[in-house]
Amino acid sequence: MFFKKLFHRINQPIGSNKIVPGAQAPALCVKNHNEGTIDLAKLYKEHTLFLYFYPKAGTPRCKCQAESIRDFYDTIRARGVEVVGVSTDTPSSLRFCRERTQLPFLLIADQEGELARAFEVPMRFGFASRCGFIIQSGRIVWRSNKLPVEGLGPELLEALDQLGICEES
């Protein structure tokens, strides 16, 4: 059973390219870093959302990426955008990483890769690729299939500028 599950997670299809700007964002209920349930449909109604996938919490590259968002978080929030990070880690791993790096945003534990599959995020050896989505009113308005490790905060702000998502008054 273990190997069957591992093989399934390693060999995720890249997707049918249905999750593109203009498409409805997948609305699942998922577990967060505190093992609470997050209803993405409700979150989509409350905020513009930057949802980003990364391979493994606490690794140097993922830590660098998360810290770049953290360092620009107040500016991102001033534009009415909420940030949510997603990896295939356990809630306890995410909680530890979130506390250690002082991340102010939610982390989702996508242990089975269900959310990654729904968003057509490529998986390699059970780990999500670095992809990001900006979602407004339940629709994808921006997608990146290759997020940078360094400088993600400024790149996100540039994308928000291009979409006309400015500071709230």
Token digits of residue 33: 């870093």
Cα torsion at 137, 31, 17, 43 (round to 10°)?
0
Predicted confidence band of residue 41 (pLDDT cuts 50, 70, 90): very high
Tokens 């591992």, residue?
A: 6
Characterise 120 by phi-psi region: left (phi > 0), alpha (psi -120 to 50), beta (else).
left
Residue range 2-162, CATH number = 3.40.30.10
Which tens digit of pLDDT belongs to each residue from 83-141? Answer: 999 999 999 999 998 999 999 999 999 999 999 999 999 998 989 999 999 999 999 99
Q: Structure pTM?
A: 0.86
pLDDT score for 167: 74
Distance, C-alpha 123 to centroid of its chain: 14
Asked if the model's pLDDT at residue 56 lies above 60, the reply is yes
Spatial separation of the C-alpha atoms in residues 26 and 3, rounded to whole Å: 28
Are 130 and 14 contacting, i.e. CB atoms less than 8 angstroms apart? no
Q: What is the mean pLDDT of the chain?
A: 87
What are the domain boundaries of the chain? Answer: 2-162
Which residues make Cβ contacts (< 8 Å) with residue 74, sequence separation at least 6? none
Which residues make Cβ contacts (< 8 Å) with residue 151, sequence separation at least 6? 68
pLDDT score for 7: 44
Which tens digit of pLDDT belongs to each residue from 9-19? Answer: 444 444 456 78
- Give percent above pLDDT 90 in the chain: 69
